[in-house]
Structure 1
Amino acid sequence: MDLPGPGWPFEPSDAARARGRNTWAFTGLMFSAGSLLLNPFGIVGLIGIVFSALGLARSHQLEGMAYRVTGRGQSLIGLGIGLAETVYFAYRLGEYLS
């Protein structure tokens, strides 16, 4: 009886590989996405920015080790969402205080 070949029963997706190698990027993306739903005092967006920045640094390390999937996209999307949400919160707070 032959054993199953590589990738059996399925081959993990690129997102699953990035999540496994770069948990900082994935966590930053999840915090940033969560800030769209719940953002008390802008804290969740700031946490998303920090984790995404750490994930971006980790993606550069993984790139140096010649990995094809590094999580750079997840980090950049997390940074973008976190920054946009933090700027929106600051704008909303400025309107409320004036």
Structure 2
Amino acid sequence: MTDAALTDEELERYARHIVLPEIGGPGQHKLKRARVLVIGAGGLGAPVLEYLAAAGVGTLGIVDDDTVSLSNLQRQVIHGSDTIGLAKTDSAAAAIMRINPNV
């Protein structure tokens, strides 16, 4: 992510954050510039990644050396049946891009 102003699309996407006095425009810019490394894309890491992406955290790193298996799907919500056998990092990255292509 660059340090550029929020685009019209981002202003609309994050409007509910921006109207909060605790976040506002400056806070959303901080989120856009933020970098977060999530260790594990499993039961806890999966929803964390989804929420960070949806919130507009600009750079997400993912570390996980496992692959997606059928038994993961009931609790690792970022993965799907179509990603069984893929590296969890690749599966999660693809899901993040679907959630928010600005991340």
TM-score between the two structures when normalised by the length of structure 1 = 0.34
